[in-house]
Amino acid sequence: MAKPETVVQGATMHWADSMIGFPHFRQRLAEAMLDRYGKVPSETEWATNPIASRLKDRASPELRQTVVRFAADAQSKREKK
C-alpha cells in the first residue's frame, strides 16, 4: 500500500500536468514561484521547485519562457505599488 503523501503527490502532479496548458495556471505558477523565491525563477529554482521540476513538460523552452515572462510581469507590477 502506498503512503498517503505519495498518493497526494501523484494526484497533485497529475492535476498540475493537466492544467499546465492553460495560461492562467502558468501565471499562477509564475506568481507562486515569485512568492517562494522573491525573484524571477532562474534555472536553479526551476530545477528544484517542487512543482515545476516534476512537470512532464518541464524541459519545454516555451513553458519556461512563459512562466519566466509572467513572473517578470508580476514582479514589475509589485514594484510599482
Q: Is the pLDDT assigned to residue 41 strictly greater than 90?
A: yes
Domain-wise residue ranges, the chain: 24-80
The pTM (predicted TM-score) of the whole model is: 0.83
Instruction: Give the C-alpha distances (Å, rounded to integers) separating 42 from 29, 36, 37, 48.
Output: 14, 12, 10, 10
Write out the three cell numbers for 63: 513553458
Q: How many angstroms from the chain centroid is the CA of residue 28?
A: 8
Model confidence at 17, pLDDT cuts 50, 70, 90, reads confident
**What number of other Cβ atoms are within 10 A of residue 30's Cβ?**
23
List alpha helices for the chain, DSSP H.
Answer: 4-19, 23-37, 43-48, 61-80
Q: What are the grid coordinates assigned to 81, written together? A: 505599488
